Amino acid sequence: MADKNKPKLVKYEDNEWEFVFPPSIESEEVEENFFFGIEQLGKNDLVAETILKSLIYKNPFHLDAYAHLSIAFKNQEKTFESFLTAEKAYNLGKSLLPKKFDIKKDKLPWGYWDNRPFLRVCHTLGLEYQHRKEYQKAIDIYYEILQYNSDDNQGIRYLLLECLFLLKDYKKAEEFINKYPDDWSIDFLYGKLIIEILKDNKDVKTLLDEAIECNEFLPKEIIKTKHKAPSAGKFDEFGVVSGSVQEAFMYWNRNKKLYKNKKIIDFFKVNFKNS
């Protein structure tokens, strides 16, 4: 394969790097086909698969095509193909990093547009591991992404926290949450509270109040015996509205194994009405 068709990385100030893709990948025709392909995801995934495979055949380093091909396979319940595609894309992307790239100090900021395909590829593989219940492998990938892009434009820290809870590694979950003292999301505020509940800490009123201020509907969701998705509701520019009943259900559903813990359920049965 000619070097001219292989992406390269360039280094800027402050240890920031950026992928540079060749014209063969960034041509208008290729981009049009790519965006048409991803528009088919969820509507006609077989068409998406065909288009993305064709792009990869002609452009073997089209990382974004790999990432979305994995999604097309997963949507068709071709789970083996989905995993292999994500794994191949990740390894391909890693092979492009120069030897002098030091993950301990060098960065691949999301703000550089052409870094996004590789970061998406990493994200895709992390999700594959998570769906396969290989939670430690998912955690390792998620930590790696956060090293590349500490601004976390992809919301990787929430997936990482989910995996730590699934492994019941509450000590590491607590340490991880404490790295983000300014994160006021439902994941982190309720995560802090849950850890203290599991530690049998009775002095949690402040944490409970902060969590309920973030989302008042989650306690009711936790103590239900039957769970049903609410109506679609309203969405803002970031997706589900923060503090909504829809957010509460989606968060509970992502973490339902954690919230089946009897100690957690009993806590909210006792404290919810008095909060």
- Confidence (pLDDT) at 5: 79
- Confidence (pLDDT) at 183: 96
Angstrom distance (rounded) from CA 72 to CA 94: 22
- Confidence (pLDDT) at 241: 87
pTM of the model: 0.92
Strand 8-11 to 17-20 pairing: antiparallel
Return the SS3 of 136.
helix
Q: Which CATH class is domain 1-154?
A: mainly alpha
- Confidence (pLDDT) at 4: 75
- Confidence (pLDDT) at 200: 94
Structure tokens at 118: 């590789």
Burial pattern 82-108, b for ≥16 Cβ within 10 A else e, equals: bbebbbbbbebbeeebeeebeeeebbb
Mean pLDDT by runs of 10 across the 275 residues of the chain is: 78 95 93 96 97 96 97 97 98 96 96 97 98 98 98 97 98 98 97 97 95 96 92 65 93 96 96 65
- Confidence (pLDDT) at 2: 47
Q: Where are the domains of the chain?
A: 1-154, 169-275
- Confidence (pLDDT) at 233: 67
- Confidence (pLDDT) at 234: 59
- Confidence (pLDDT) at 275: 47
Among 265, 219, 217, 222, residue whose Cα is nearest residue 242? 217
